[in-house]
Structures are given as structure tokens and as C-alpha cells.
Structure 1
């Protein structure tokens, strides 16, 4: 008997699931839309002007004006579940898709396609209950249990019970990244983008790590990197580590900060200069300070890029080289350019350029290839091969810089360090690492 009951229950459950997963839209003679199950039984009467496809177990239902091709224009939305049950009667001017357990809803003015222009946002749960009424001018989805909203012209964060975790004291707050967000107090445009004002930093608990009194602000490793009146400063725990004496900072890594000052080329003094239109002329000298504020590498470089491996690419007297954290030269200043891969920031091999020819170096500055080639391709470096080109002919060298395939070919594709697909005079075949033809 128990077995029969269990089988009956299982069948009913399966039937419900099956029905819920096979609802189809249909139109009445009047042009209204409803839903049928797989047996053609009407489960939702055709009284709607549009029904969206199901997403995360729910479909939006719409009553109102439609565009020429049938999509919603102006009207109200509700929700139906996959059983065809209406869980939210059409009353919102927009309903967003569910983000895990809740969905944003909007009441207010929209434009074609029912996209919000001006109004109020709230939230509903998957039962259709309005868990947060539409009281907020703007609202993002919940993240880590909190939600960024705009209330009475100010931005803050609330929890699921509408407690203000971060008070409504700011005009803009960025999204949290690694537990931190930048705050802003000042003027914004209609979309909430910053125009003019002051910046600070908070953590995800709402603690103000940097008050919003600076022209720019960021926070890393317990240090506040701030700018005021176009001067860079470094703070920690409210104490000023670096006074506002530098024109800017370009990066921070391994305990050193890459700083710069603008240079007046006419006098060689380190001062900001401007053109006739008030635009800053970017002629700079770069150096490095530590987190105690000490200038550890003097400001003598015309350009600088800080790498993750405790080295820096710097430019002096018109040429690029590489120095270490002590300011010692690791790679001579003889290159017109040193190229950093888009990924890795100095963790991968880098191309060098000198007198129109390319070479490459290791991340530690060791020279692999002298700049003797029109082009080099480092894509196959993990296979121990570099494809090089001169005078439109291609060849290959190994990572020791030794030529393994002569520069005789119109095209080369590397299969591995022992097999190469080559093309010459419109003939294509394979060769080994000695350049010998193979099958």
C-alpha cells in the first residue's frame, strides 16, 4: 500500500514538473496572450498583451500598449510561475529578472520598451511578496546582503530589513571591490555620475577609512592615497606620511610608490606648467618613495612603469632601461621602447625596440634576443620557440636565441618545439627542429 501511495505521489510530482516545464504561449481571437500546458489545457487565461519567455522559473506578464512588432511599450507588469499561477498581478511599470532570491521592481515613468526613466524602486521575493516597497529613486541588486539605493537625493546601503548599513550621506558610491568602495560628495548628473566634488573611501561595514574631503582617493594595504589641489599625499591612520608635495602617483607595488612632478622644460625646474588654454603640459620626472615617505629613487626619469617583480621600466635621456628597487641598472638604457604584454605586467617576456628592430627580454631583464628582427612573435614561447621575421621571411629561434629554422619561409605555424608547419612559394609542408622535411 505504501509503495502505491509513494508511486502515486511521485507520478503527481513528475506530472506537475512536466506541466510546469512545457507551458506555451497562445493568442486569442482578440489578440490577447495566455498560456497552455502540453495537453492544450488553458492554465492562464488570454487577458494579457504580452508574455515574456520564462527566466529562472518565472515569466513577466504585461498589460498595456505595445509597439508595432508586439513588444511592450507602456503599461504594467506582473509575474507568473511555471505552473501558470499569477504570483504578482500586473501593477509595476518594470520588473527585473531575479537575482538569486529577490527581483527589483519599479513604479514610475518609462520610455518605449518600459525601461525606467524616473520613479521608485523596491524588491519582491519569489512568492511575489513585496519585501521592500518602491521607496528608492535608484537601487542596485543585493550583494553580500546589502544593496545600494538612492533616498531623498543621497546614496547609501541598506540590508534586507531596510536598515541603513551605510548612511545616506553621499552623492555617489562606487560598487564594492575587495571590500572597499569610493565615496563622493558633490554634484552629479541625472544618472548619478560624478561631476565635481570630493572623494573618500569606506569599507563594507560602512567604516569611513578616508573622509570624502579629497579630490581623489584610494585605499591599499592600510594606506590612503589621496590628492588635494593637484598634489599627491599618503596617509595612514590619520597621520600624514607623505605631505602634499608631489604632482601625482602612478602606481604602488612591493612597498614603493611611483611618484612624479611636472617639469618646466624651459627652466628644468620641477613645477607644474600650463599652455595658453590652461591645459597642463605633461612633461614629468619620475621617482620612487617608500611608505615612510622617504625618496628612495630620485626623480630623474622621463617615464616609468612599475612591474610586479620588483623591477621598473624607466626612461632616461630618451632611452628605456630597467632598474631594481635600489635604483641599480638591470638593463642598459639603449632601447627606444620596451613593450609590456597586456596581461602579466612584467611577469612574461617583453619585446624591445631599437632602431626599428625588435628583440625580447625575460621578466628579470635578461636579454633573450637582441633587437635584430622586423617582427617577433612570442605566442609560442611556452613551447621554447620564438617566430621571427626579416624582409618578409619567417624563421624560428629557441629561447637561447639560437636559430633553429632559417628565415626562408613565407609563413610558419608552430605545432610544438619539434614540429612546424611551413609555407614557401605556395607550398605547405612540415619540418622538424632542424628544418628537415617530415610527414
Structure 2
């Protein structure tokens, strides 16, 4: 696998992405014209957009044009008469014309079920076709009634400088930074003049580079280090917390892990100690639980600090898809959030669940199991990874490739090193050269191999 990255977390965020579907499939009751629903929430890269409410017109989900443009990092260009507008991001364009039931995507006409809605001089445009035209993704969470717009921009490097491309390989932000990170909550860590700051989706610096170290945003806050002092800043760059502990970690699910001496605990967004420092080791919260160590054994606590799974394991991992990976008497298995075994410990190696499957190994052979412990893919691979964007890496004869969820090889083993797919692209290295490939194995952008001079912080 690729080594540690030049700033303190993975170059590409590891988030499982559900395949985009037409949002209206979950919103059939809003198929009539101009129906709005305050009960629907809108997020951009996981951040709730206060006061932004979609409308539904003839099967389309619509949002204000300026909101969609901002969400994907596109610029709006108006024609002189104001009856036509083009959204542009790099070389890609989407053009809407008032009263016209077609849209031009990169100059090619595509039909719309209805024309864009214009109310009080404000344009409302269909979300899905616009976002996907720029390589972004629209996710619909039926349970929470949340629409999330995911921009899907990727850091890449050329001639020693870093910028961003979309999933098509189009340059969106030209290489201009000394270092650049993937986006988290709409902002990305960038480095200029030896200091770290934050840039937005348009590549504009929104928090001036001034930090010795900077981390991804999580729960609305980012951990930074300036002049040897650690603290947390908000999206405007305002330092809101400077807790006095020996070590600070990212926020997760409303709490941040902290350490003083040999003990770990958790603080809330006000800096108050929400769970006392009493653990020998501790992890981030995931799925409402966090792994902790007491008297040499690991278990799980909830966000109140209550013990959910008594410490009795050799090791644990973050809860993923409702199951926690644990090691008991040398073997690995999975427990449910309630604490009982969902899958008995019977594997020599195992990995957390991702996209419904988990990689496990016995007798040197890797396979994949489902949530019930049923083997759904058997392999002869030397190594195998988790599924992301529908693909998992594998190793055969010392080379890396990718399989799909049915175990079919879709990208032949040919790489010396790879990363998991993330937001539609993966970093691969072949013959000493790094590139970004799409899920078909096609290289969309050349890049450079990141330096290995600043390991990521760990909560374990």
C-alpha cells in the first residue's frame, strides 16, 4: 500500500459511497409541480445547509442555481439577456435556458422533464443531472430524508505543485499549492510557504496558511497546531478551542479523543470533559460506539461513557455497518452493537465491513463474507482489501489489481502499489509513476508520489 502522506491523514478520504440513484425514487409523493418539503434536509459533502429546502417539479429535484454551483465548485456565466446561464468547472459546462426543456452538457443536448423553475428572479435547476455532469454524486438517505451533494474532487500533483481534478480528469484547480489534501466538509488542507491552511472547492484560500500542522475537518471543526500549541478551528478559521491536554485528536460523532499522560478520555464541542480520562487506549466514535482499553483488555463504550461491551478482547476496531471487528484468543470475529457475537471468531485475519462485505483470511487464503458470516467470494489472492466504490484491491504474483463485488477481476493486476477507490478514483503506482485511475482502470490524470514525512495521527 502507499505510505503515509505529507499531511496528517490519508491523501484520499476513505468513505463508502452508495451508488447514485434518481433521488425522486424515494420522493414519489412530490412528483407534482413546485412542491416543497421543509422536512427534507440538504447536505454538501456531509455538511447540513441551513435553510436550504429543495422543491420537486415533474419528477425533478430542484435547488437554487447558486447553491448547486457552490456545492460542486462551479462558476455561473450569464448570457446578456439573462435567459441563459452556463455553469462551468474546468472544461466542463452545463447550460440552461429559460423555458427550454433541454440542457446542454458539454455542448450536447439532453432532455429535461420540465424547464428550470424561475421564481422571483431566482433560478431553480435539477440537482442530479447538474451534479453528475461535473462528476459529483447525489446521495439520498431515505431514513433521515437527507439529500447529500458530494463534489468528488481529487488532489493531484504536476511539476511539484498540487491542484485538483474531477473524476473525468479535468483540471478544476490548477496546481499551485506546495501540498494539497482531499476535501472534507467542503474544505481541503493546503500548504503554502511552509504553512498549512484551508482552501474551498474553487481553490480559493479561505483560512490563511499559518499552521505548523493541519488536519481534515470533522464535525465542523479541524485540529491544528500553531507555534507548538494544539487547538480546534471552525470553517472560518476562528480558533474556538484550545484544550490543555498532552495530545488532541479529531472530533467524531460530537466528541474528540484526548490524552493526558497514559490515559485517554473525550471532550465535547465546548471543551468540556464529557467522558473522564480513564482508559489505557481509546478509539474514535463510530456507529455510536468507541473502542477502549481497561486493564489490558478492549471493549466498547457509548457516547455517555457507559460500557456497552465489557472489556474482554485482545483488540478491537471501529464499528462499521453495525458490526465491530474484535480479536479473541488470537482469532478474529464480529460483534453486534448490543455486544453479542454476530460472527464467531474463527479467522486468522479480518477487516472491518465495507459496502456489505468484509475480507477475512484463513490458511493464507482470502475470502469475503456478508453480515451473516456467509462466504460470498472465495479467492486465491495473496492479499485483499475492503470494497470502496464497488471495487476491492487484490494482490496476485506481487501485483495489485481490483475485483468487483462478485469476485470478478475488473482491473488486471499490474500495479506496484495502490490505494482504495474513493469518490470514483484511486491512486496507483506502476513502474515508479503515479496516476489516478477510474473504476474502469483508465488513467485520467498523472500525479506524483506523495512524500512520507508526516505520519497521520492515530487514536490507537
TM-score normalised over the length of structure 1: 0.39
Higher relative contact order (CA 8 A, sep 6+): 2
More strand per residue: 1
Higher Rg of the two aligned structures: 1
